[in-house]
Chains A and B, each alone.
Chain A
Amino acid sequence: AQSVAQPEDQVNVAEGNPLTVKCTYSVSGNPYLFWYVQYPNRGLQFLLKYITGDNLVKGSYGFEAEFNKSQTSFHLKKPSALVSDSALYFCAVRTSGNTGKLIFGQGTTLQVKP
């Protein structure tokens, strides 16, 4: 069965420091991985995705994610956090042949303090 795990319910980081939000996955076949962000009382916004190629994927708002096949991870990173980055972050996975179905992690709340 396919699954995604976000091991941290909440991540706290000081503004200006680097941030990492962790994601691990379990799929059969090639994974297609996505990160979404949800601001309070808003829908999900697409940040970035890994399909194939370079393991380091760059996305919106200065975020990037590193695909690691051996560790089955897809951690979200940003070199310098902003207070406005505070939000709920979701990792999700799809596989080839799994038409349309996104499997989401449970979400990680990022708190960036001034």
Chain B
Amino acid sequence: NAGVTQTPKFQVLKTGQSMTLQCAQDMNHEYMSWYRQDPGMGLRLIHYSVGAGITDQGEVPNGYNVSRSTTEDFPLRLLSAAPSQTSVYFCASSRRGDSTDTQYFGPGTRLTVL
């Protein structure tokens, strides 16, 4: 299994540009989520999904959209990038959304918005 994969690894955008961060998992996990990591703030949840066709907002959802058309994929869209969205983005998945399940993380996407 490849586990959780993310593309691209690095991206530079100009303010106002849009882009999609890709996330895929091959473990047949129902639960997937997106976090952003900023220095001194740990990881903060952006959006999550408990299964195909179901998404919900996390702690910091503004400026981001998600969809879950398949079990495997969970893309994160930035509609109009802002410098405040400069961060490292991690996708994670777990077998279910149960609180006891371990979440497995992808390698991350480092995004810079100029």
A: which residues have CB within 8 A of B? 4, 9, 32, 34, 36, 42-46, 49, 51, 90, 92, 94-102, 104-107
13 extra interface residue pairs, beta carbon distance < 8 Å, beyond A51-B100, A101-B48, A107-B42? A34-B103, A43-B106, A43-B107, A45-B105, A96-B99, A99-B97, A100-B48, A100-B103, A101-B45, A102-B35, A102-B92, A104-B43, A104-B44
55-108 of chain B: CB within 8 A of chain A? 58, 90, 92, 94, 97-100, 102-108
Give the complex CA separation of A49 and B94 in angstroms. Answer: 14
What are 6 pairs between A and B in contact, CB < 8 Å? A32-B100, A36-B105, A44-B105, A46-B104, A102-B103, A107-B42
Give the complex CA separation of A102 and B50 in angstroms. Answer: 14
Q: Would you call B33 an interface residue if the criterion is a C-beta within 8 Å of the partner chain's C-beta atoms? A: yes
Q: Contacts A105-B42, A106-B40, A106-B42: A100 and B97 contacting too (C-beta < 8 A)? A: yes
Give the complex CA separation of A82 and B57 in angstroms. Answer: 40
Interface magnitude class on chain B = 20 to 34
A32 to chain B: which residues have CB within 8 Å? 99-100
**A94 nearest CB neighbor, chain B only:** B99
The 7 closest A-B pairs by CB, nearest first: A104-B42, A100-B97, A44-B105, A94-B99, A43-B105, A99-B97, A104-B43
Give the complex CA separation of A36 and B45 in angstroms. Answer: 16
Give the complex CA separation of A99 and B47 in angstroms. Answer: 12
CB distance from A46 to the nearest CB of B (A): 5
Do B41 and A49 touch across chains, with their CB atoms under 8 A apart?
no
Do B102 and A34 touch across chains, with their CB atoms under 8 A apart?
yes
